Amino acid sequence: MLESLDHETALALLEWQIELGATEAIGEGPVDRFAESAAARAARPATLSPAVPEAPPARAPRQSRPATPQRDGESAGDAVAEARALAAAAPDLAALREAMAGYGHCELKKGARNLVFADGQPGARVMIVGEAPGREEDQRGLPFVGRAGRLLDLMFGAIGMSRAAPDPAKALYITNILPWRPPQNRDPSPEEIAMMLPFVERHVALADPDFLVLMGNISCQALLGRKGITRLRGNWQTVFGRPALPMFHPAFLLRNPVCKRESWSDLLLLQSRLEGR
């Protein structure tokens, strides 16, 4: 059956698997697991009295799971407390990136290809805080570089702003709540968000923007403590002592283009604040 696939169909199937989250080839050829199971059953010695069922093997005592990191923990082994200490000790953005790269408590780091730190111009008046890297961001080590990133550039370009603009008044600085891609683009867990939040807070302090834009539900959950982007968008909030505007994530707009009208209204709202109106 596979031999009859034409090039275009095979490529489409591969792209479909990538969209589902497959990123690595595991083996050179197919493995018949059913044949392996049958061979294992055939090699199993026969029981002496088949009428009497074998007793199930004794279960090993269940190991207790490590305690979930608490945001207000103060012990030396607490992941969040260590993140706070590392973040507070970073004197500049380069040091903060190095501290995040050396932070070992977040399991997402083990499955990611790159740490996605930031893009754009430090010192820009507007800092965008996204959710977490996707596949293309993970591969390139930059936030918002896939389809959602291209849409984000078009959106802010419509009000004269760009991540490449040298003028801080027209520039964007972009980061995410998480620097590592979650498996299969799943939502970050509350524990993962809590671990990385001290780094986000320090990131904002060092970049020192006038305004924050919270892109999507995960950003609002992390920085506002609540979700519901449809209700939150377009309403100014305060985060780390700075004005913050929740907006629809560009990935959401790609799936729901009818909502672009609301995003345009939010962009005009941001432009008005930038111009002092």
The residues with which 247 forms a beta bridge, in sequence order, are: 215
For residues 166 and 187, what is the distance between their CA atoms, to the nearest angstrom?
Answer: 34
Counting residues of the chain whose pLDDT is more than 70, the rounded percentage is: 72
Kindly state the average pLDDT of the residues 145-173.
96
| Domain ranges across the chain | 80-275
Share of the chain above pLDDT 90, in %: 70
Q: Give every CB contact of residue 88 below 8 A, 6+ residues apart in sequence.
A: 198, 202
Task: Please report the pLDDT score of residue 276 as a whole number.
Answer: 87
pLDDT at site 74 = 43
Q: State the pLDDT confidence band at 125, using cuts at 50, 70 and 90.
A: very high
Mean pLDDT, rounded, for 29-39: 62
Q: What is the pLDDT of residue 189?
A: 94
Domain 80-275 carries which CATH code?
Answer: 3.40.470.10
The pLDDT tens digits for 46-90 are: 544 444 444 444 444 444 333 334 444 444 348 999 999 999 999
Beta 211-215 vs 242-247: how paired, if at all?
Answer: parallel
Q: Report how far apart, in Å, the C-alpha atoms of 202 and of each of 3, 64, 100 are.
A: 55, 34, 11
Q: Which amino acid, one-letter code, is at 261?
A: R
Taking the complete model, does pTM exceed 0.75, yes or no? no
Q: If pLDDT is split at 50, 70 and 90, which confidence band does 256 have?
A: very high
What pLDDT, in 10s, does the model give residues 81-118? 999 999 999 999 999 999 999 999 999 999 999 999 99
Longest dimension (CA), the chain: 88
